[in-house]
Chains A and B, each alone.
Chain A
């Protein structure tokens, strides 16, 4: 008996797990938007502290979260290198590499590239926190709710959500089935360990065909089962799990909105705070679009 687990959901009873899925979806959208307004190291640092605090609160093991970020590491490094190499300097900036035509690396380029890398890191951290604390079913439910205004233009929101949740539901079943079929074919001497990619693809046929056949069989069974229970789409359909916003959802929203506001203040300095003006002129508090930092 293998423990069937898929996706990233990490079962726990933290406050993040108990938040309404729709709210979490909204918060993640806000969070993502917010990240795009950040353009200084110090604010990125603050966001990272915030995100890590959320990880602590969510009770998801740190290593698990970092592992999901690891997948995106390659993209981060790749973008960092390309941006550093090809971003031109600001007006009046002297390249670090001197008069070389290529590569011409500018300090502002490095700052810009590292901002981008940090941005991706923060994005992945926030969104994976959503999938860690929300079951796929809750998530599809929330998406259905979130997109329900599209029903007005006859977009089949309910049907799409149903397709999604059936697909998610069947992943573990199909994985188990694949394992069984692979074993059965191996017992008949099939070899899947070939290095040659064409041979490997051909070797997969005896697995894929039975898998397709059984998927169709399953689909038909499911359709019949739904039909015989008078399923007729979203019309007049009630739910087993009613979603309700609670106080904690409101508080979470307020917290995120407040942080969003603070980020905007740091970016645009609405109230002309002197310390923000000062920060903006340093390399660690300002954006990469500034004239060459005076420190170096």
Chain B
């Protein structure tokens, strides 16, 4: 078990007029190898929750516990260096954190903070830059402020990867990109999962994305986790979707439309490819069966 959260609650500005409960009694288990998606509307507590996983937000006294890779986050004298080399965190618009003179130096910032030796840092920087799909030789000496937007985001992600975390947390990694950029970053995240970080936790507002990559999705609503399900199950439960105002992935929407019109098709399809395959096979059947009339 890689992340265990028990009875976690969090209140902003406790005991004042600005008091606001952000998390209510969260229980969650994320296993090694999970690609764990978190969805929920703005203000549902997603960010507060993931900030806890990196101890950027400390657990309030007596409001639950978190254990990550055997590290107990409730302890007072927490070894931050160890925790942060276990858990990497990519925030929204990570390119806004770039600051150093060259891309290589910037990517090495986290590794330097781990007090590794020079050779090791250099090696990790190279590895991280190549893992995010940039050309190391070409980009290492350029200023992070003169490369393109997409490259900036990749470089920023590389800066987290250079710490070689086993768990990677991403807060909307595709925000503000065009469809192609979104797809590239998403492919990148999957590639990272394969090659470096076995466990990934990702927040997203884009249902197509999360349905495509996650194997489990947690739905957050007003500081609570209302359910944790594999995408296929989640997106075929219309009750839940309606109650928490969650939209369906495009593929699921289309599958449902078709099912409503009387086609025999699985309502829980979340993947485009799968849907296309089903429809292609179906039209094959139709060609042989003239009784069914396509009037969509």
Contact = CB atoms under 8 A, between A and B. Distances in A.
Contact of B159 (A2, A3, A188, A209): A188
Contacts of A180: 91, 96
B189 interface: no
B89 interface: yes
Nearest to B106: A206
A221 interface: no
Nearest to B81: A189
Contact of A205 (B84, B88, B96, B99): B99
Given A187-B88, A189-B163, A206 B145 contact: no
A213 B106 CA distance: 15
Contacts of B54: 187
Chain B facing A: main interface SS: mixed
A181 B96 contact: yes
B109 A190 contact: yes
Interface stretch (B12-20, B198-206, B253-261, B275-283): B12-20
Nearest to A191: B113
B163 A188 contact: yes
B43 interface: yes
Contacts of A185: 97, 109
Contacts of B160: 187-188
B112 to A, nearest CB: 8
B12 A187 contact: no
A210 B96 contact: yes
Contact of A210 (B43, B51, B56, B97): B97
Contacts of A214: 96
A254 B109 CA distance: 64
A181 B145 contact: no
Contact of B56 (A2, A3, A186): A186
A1 interface: yes
Interface string B241-285: 000000000000000000000000000000000000000000000
Interface string B123-146: 000000000000000000000010
A183 B109 contact: no
Interface string A152-186: 00000000000000000000000001001101111
Contacts of A1: 12, 20, 22, 43
B99 A206 contact: yes
A107 B145 CA distance: 67
A187 B163 CA distance: 10
A164 to B, nearest CB: 26
Of the listed residues A3, A187, A189, A213, the one surrounded by the most CB atoms of chain B closer than 10 A to its CB is A187
B89 A187 contact: yes
B78 interface: no
B211 interface: no
B94 interface: yes
A189 B145 CA distance: 22
B98 A210 contact: yes
Contacts of B110: 188-189
Of the listed residues B85, B97, B114, B163, the one surrounded by the most CB atoms of chain A closer than 10 A to its CB is B97
Contact of B109 (A177, A181, A188, A213): A188
B280 to A, nearest CB: 45
B177 to A, nearest CB: 17
Nearest to A217: B96
Nearest to A183: B56
Given A187-B84, A205-B99, A214-B96, A3 B13 contact: yes
A213 B96 CA distance: 8
A206 B109 CA distance: 9
Contacts of A187: 54, 56, 84, 88-89, 91, 160
A189 B18 contact: no
Interface in B45-68: 51, 54, 56
Nearest to A182: B56
A205 B18 CA distance: 32
A166 to B, nearest CB: 21
Nearest to B57: A183
Given A184-B94, A188-B110, 15 more contacts: A1-B22, A2-B12, A181-B97, A184-B91, A184-B96, A184-B97, A186-B84, A187-B56, A187-B88, A187-B89, A188-B160, A189-B109, A189-B110, A189-B163, A210-B96
12 contacts: A1-B20, A1-B22, A3-B20, A181-B97, A187-B56, A189-B81, A191-B80, A206-B97, A206-B99, A209-B99, A213-B99, A214-B96
Query: Which 4 residue pairs spanning A and B have beta carbons closest together?
Result: A189-B113, A188-B110, A209-B99, A187-B89
